[in-house]
């Protein structure tokens, strides 16, 4: 068995530690150098655990003139001066913002640290004035313009998304604090901010009109994350090891990793990006699992979807939208799509140049199926521990041709619904069917209707092709008749597999399947 004992930088967000500790590093320094040559402030939005903190740390080492750390990297052939600048690095990522005082405490701690080095001013009686004074004194004392690096600028806002009062208070605080970056422009050499979401109401975007948002810039699409080329160039021994462990060929391993972890596109026509956190964990554990999703389940997104009454079927099949409607989040618009996109649960999958419309979909199988499984309890009372059990049996019954058991299990699934979820709306039941059949699709080929003229659901196993049609307060016979009249089976008549029609009558009154017929 091939073994690889190389150091994988899982959870390491400090550039210096990676370089001095002998950890593997995907070289992004050519882009770092290119960005650093201008004086404009930059902003980059990327999902969590995508390498933003490591990027900020790389800028920190560069602007502190740590030439030795970059030996052998692309930047070593580009940079000639290695000039040292005072660096103010503000990291808002690791704290819990659960009270009005918490944000002030954290900002105060950073300001106090910097004041220990650069001194204080008598008239600086607010967080923003202290920040401005530190920037000015750092520049005057060193004779060199200051670099400000802010990691996860929006973390306090994201944590209190559903608490309007606290959200408003945090926005006011950050609006004033980040506004200093505009008034202190003459003292600043470079500013770089990262975050998940571009909040339209925070003045770092409204006041800093020269801010260069590179979140959807083709030149920097691969600034965070791993391309397929980088995956092979840097991690071939690890790919060979996980392939051997899982009894796969090298090519099949690449294909599996691609479907599981690739597929992020941060602008139109960009290369696909692999999720670095999941890739590194898969290499370490030699298993293909939902590593990224498990580190931060999107509870607040599910709550947001409920509040906005968003049709999940649209979300699952793909959302067509203009750039303005997903690149910037405005709380008052009641639109969850920007937050879902920026959080990494949707990504760009297509672009219509004529109408300048983007299609957003799940980036890969990890996100698609993990998100669906996470949603399921919101539509039934099936506990997490039983979730895999239900889907597993659904699939086994269809593979064996046991439609009656499949339908009885589906009836039991609906019967387990808490009363308050049964609002008797057609959409609710349609979404439930949708989620069930999409989850089945993780194991067998399964489609759910997304346009008129197709059956409600089609499932293909090795021996069978099933065509399902559901009627709300209709009859199972009417459902079967529609399958015949609409010709839903015609595309599969020469397939060779056994064709099975399933007509289902769903009763809104009983909140369950009333009758089903199989032919």
pLDDT at 422: 45
Q: Which of 180, 17, 188 is nearest to 111 (CA)?
A: 180
Per-residue CA distances from 92 to 107, 158, 161, 230 (Å): 9, 11, 16, 30
Output DSSP code: residue 43: E
Q: What φ, ψ does residue 286 adopt, rounded to 5°? A: 60, 30
pLDDT at 411: 84
Report domain 380-518's class: alpha beta
Question: For residue 138, how many other CB atoms are within 10 A of its CB?
Answer: 23
Burial (Cβ within 10 Å: 0-12, 13-18, ≥19) of residue 408: middle
> CATH topology of 27-220 equal to that of 380-518?
no
- Looking at 3.40.50, 3.30.160, 1.10.10, 3.40.630, the CATH number of the domain 27-220 comes to 3.40.50
Return all residues near 469 (Cβ < 8 A) that are at least 6 apart: 455, 456, 479, 480, 482, 483, 488, 501, 502, 503, 504
* pLDDT less than 50: residues of the chain: 1-3, 383-389, 419-424
CA angle, 293 as apex, 292 and 294 as ends, to 5°?
Answer: 95
Pairwise CA distance, residues 48 & 103, whole Å = 20
Contact criterion met (CB below 8 Å) for 137 and 119: yes
What are 160-192's pLDDT values in tens digits? Answer: 887 889 988 998 899 899 999 989 999 999 999
User: Which token pair is 243?
Assistant: 């392939």
Pairwise CA distance, residues 519 & 503, whole Å = 9
Per-residue CA distances from 366 to 212, 256, 262, 369, 445 (Å): 32, 11, 9, 6, 16
Q: Which of 460, 468, 458 is nearest to 444 (CA)?
A: 460
- Residue in the block written with tokens 């349609």: 430
N- to C-terminal Cα separation, the chain: 51
Measured N-to-C along each axis, helices 250-261 and 365-379 cross at an angle, to the nearest 10 degrees, of: 40
pLDDT at 204: 60
Domain ranges of the chain: 27-220, 299-365, 380-518
Output DSSP code: residue 42: E
Q: Which of 63, 72, 82, 97 is nearest to 19 (CA)?
A: 72
Contact criterion met (CB below 8 Å) for 227 and 271: yes
Count how many Cα atoms sit within 13 Å of the Cα of residue 399 in the half-sphere of its side chain: 12
Q: What φ, ψ does residue 225 adopt, rounded to 5°? A: 100, -175
């Amino acid at each position: 068995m091939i073994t690889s004992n190389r150091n994988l930088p899982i959870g390491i967000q400090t550039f210096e530690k990676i370089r001095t500790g002998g950890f593997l590093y995907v070289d992004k320094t050519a882009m770092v150098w290119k960005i650093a040559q201008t004086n404009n402030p930059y902003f980059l939005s990327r999902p969590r655990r995508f390498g933003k903190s490591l990027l900020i740390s790389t800028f920190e080492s560069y602007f502190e003139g740590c030439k030795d750390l970059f030996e052998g990297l692309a930047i070593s052939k580009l940079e000639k001066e290695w000039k040292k600048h005072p660096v103010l690095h503000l990291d808002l990522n690791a704290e819990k913002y659960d009270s009005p005082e918490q944000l002030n405490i954290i900002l105060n701690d950073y300001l106090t640290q910097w004041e220990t080095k650069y001194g204080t001013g008598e008239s600086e009686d607010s967080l923003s004035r202290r920040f401005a004074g530190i920037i000015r004194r750092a520049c005057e004392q060193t004779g060199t313009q200051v670099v400000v690096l802010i990691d996860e600028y929006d973390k306090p806002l994201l944590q209190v998304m559903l608490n309007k009062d606290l959200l408003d208070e945090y926005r006011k605080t950050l609006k004033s604090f980040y506004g200093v970056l505009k008034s202190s422009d003459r003292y600043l050499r470079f500013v770089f901010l990262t975050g998940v979401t571009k909040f339209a109401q925070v003045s770092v975007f409204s006041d800093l009109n020269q801010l260069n948002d590179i979140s959807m810039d083709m030149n920097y699409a691969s600034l965070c994350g791993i391309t397929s080329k980088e995956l092979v160039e840097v991690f071939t021994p690890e790919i060979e090891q996980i392939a051997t462990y899982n009894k796969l060929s090298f090519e099949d391993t690449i294909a599996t990793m691609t479907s599981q972890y690739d597929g992020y596109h941060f602008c139109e026509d960009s290369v696909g990006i692999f999720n670095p956190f999941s890739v590194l964990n898969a290499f370490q554990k030699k298993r293909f699992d939902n590593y990224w999703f498990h580190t931060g389940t999107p509870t607040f997104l599910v709550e947001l979807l409920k509040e906005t009454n968003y049709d999940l079927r649209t979300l699952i099949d793909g959302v067509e939208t203009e750039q303005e409607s997903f690149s910037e989040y405005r709380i008052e618009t009641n639109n969850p799509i920007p937050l879902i996109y920026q959080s990494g649960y949707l990504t760009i999958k297509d672009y219509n140049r004529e109408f300048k419309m983007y299609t957003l979909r799940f980036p890969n199988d990890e996100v698609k199926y993990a998100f669906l499984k996470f949603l399921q309890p919101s539509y039934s009372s099936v506990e997490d521990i039983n979730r895999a059990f239900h889907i597993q049996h659904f699939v086994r019954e269809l593979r064996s041709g046991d439609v009656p058991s499949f339908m009885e299990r589906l009836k039991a699934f609906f019967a387990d619904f808490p009363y308050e979820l049964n609002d008797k709306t057609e959409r609710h039941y349609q979404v439930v069917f949708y989620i069930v059949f999409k989850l089945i699709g993780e194991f067998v080929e399964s489609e759910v209707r997304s346009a008129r003229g197709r059956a409600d659901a089609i499932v293909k196993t090795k021996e069978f092709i099933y065509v399902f049609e559901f009627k709300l307060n209709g009859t199972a016979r009417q459902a079967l008749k529609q399958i015949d009249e609409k010709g839903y089976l015609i595309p599969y008549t020469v397939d060779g597999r056994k064709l099975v029609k399933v007509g289902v009558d769903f009763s809104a009154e009983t909140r369950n399947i009333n009758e089903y017929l199989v032919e």
